[in-house]
Each structure stands twice: as structure tokens, then as C-alpha cells.
Structure 1
Amino acid sequence: MKTSLLAVLALTLAPIAASAMPMVGDVVGTNPKDATAALAAKGFTVKEFEAEGGKIEAKGTDEAGKYFEVYIDPKTGAVTKVSDKD
């Protein structure tokens, strides 16, 4: 019974793990080259960078093509917010 339950849980959670996105706290870097590479490793394709509200804003899409904005602290390189809205 436990084995069946674990197998069901593993199969249920597999799509979540496969569609990883940057999360608040992830350190992606403070320059475009490093941030682009780190975000790409998380399944996010950067289309452009912009300075907004004292943060670096990376605009782009996830693996499914959905638009997101990822906000990065310019001093630490840490993601501070991930938004699917403008």
C-alpha cells in the first residue's frame, strides 16, 4: 500500500519538478549574461532587461510560452519577485 501511494505521489509531482521556474531567493546574478544563463537553467527565456523601482526586471517566458517578469536585487543578484502580470 505504501509503495503504491509513493508511486502515485511521485507521478503526480513529476510535472511540477519538470516545470521549474525561478523562485524568490534564487540567486541568478547581477549582470545580464549571468542572469540570462541562470534563468535559462530554471526554464525561463529572457526577452529583455529593464531597470524598475530599484530592481532589475527580466521580462520573458517560461517553457510553456507564458509571459513572466522576474525582479532581481541589483546588489545581491537574488530574485525578489516573480509576476505573471505587468
Structure 2
Amino acid sequence: MKRILTLFLFLTAAPLAALAAPAVGDVVGTTPEAATAALAEKGCKVSDFEAEDGKIEAKCTDEAGKPMEVYIDPASGAVTEVKSGD
């Protein structure tokens, strides 16, 4: 019975974990402070920002510690692309 309950909890929580990641279209802000706070709410701990191809690149790690790159439109503050750093 414990195995069934554990499996049930894992399967119901898995989709919620996926919702925590930043996604294209999310508006995270146009300042480093706003973007850092908004990305942290999405489970992405920012370590650095840099300009790349007219966009802001936020280098961060997800809740599992995997590196990610989140590209932000500097005018709108919207996420335009998310790349896994694997």
C-alpha cells in the first residue's frame, strides 16, 4: 500500500514541478532585480546576466541543480527562449 501511495504522490506532483520552470512568454521584468525575483519564483536561481544577440541571457540553475539559460526581451521583459545547459 505504501508503494501505491508513494507512486500516486509522485505522479500527481510531477506535473506541478514542470509548471515551476520558466517558460517562453512568461514576463519576468526588465531589470536584473525583477528578473531575478520572478525567475526564483519559477524555481530558477540566477547566477549571472549577460547581453547576447540583443537579448538578456540569465544563467541559472533549476531546482535540481541543472544549468539553464533563459533569454529575455529587454523591452518587454518576456522570456523568449529557455535552453537546458546540459
TM-score, scaled relative to structure 2: 0.83
Stretches of 4+ moved more than 4 A in 1?
8-11
Does residue 55 (structure 1) correspond to residue 55 (structure 2)? The answer is yes
Distance 1:29 1:10 in 2: 34
Q: CA RMSD in A?
A: 2.0
Unaligned 5+ segments in structure 1 are 1-7
Q: State the partner residue of 1:5.
A: none
Q: Judging changes above 3 Å, is the alpha-carbon distance between structure 1 residues 9 and 25 closer, same or farther for their aligned structure 2 residues? A: farther
- Taking only the aligned residue pairs, the percentage that are identical comes to 62
Amino acid at match of 2:17: A
TM-score, scaled relative to structure 1: 0.83
Amino acid at match of 1:53: D
Aligned length: 79
Q: Give 3-state SS (helix, strand or coil) of 1:27's partner.
A: coil
Q: State the partner residue of 1:26.
A: 26
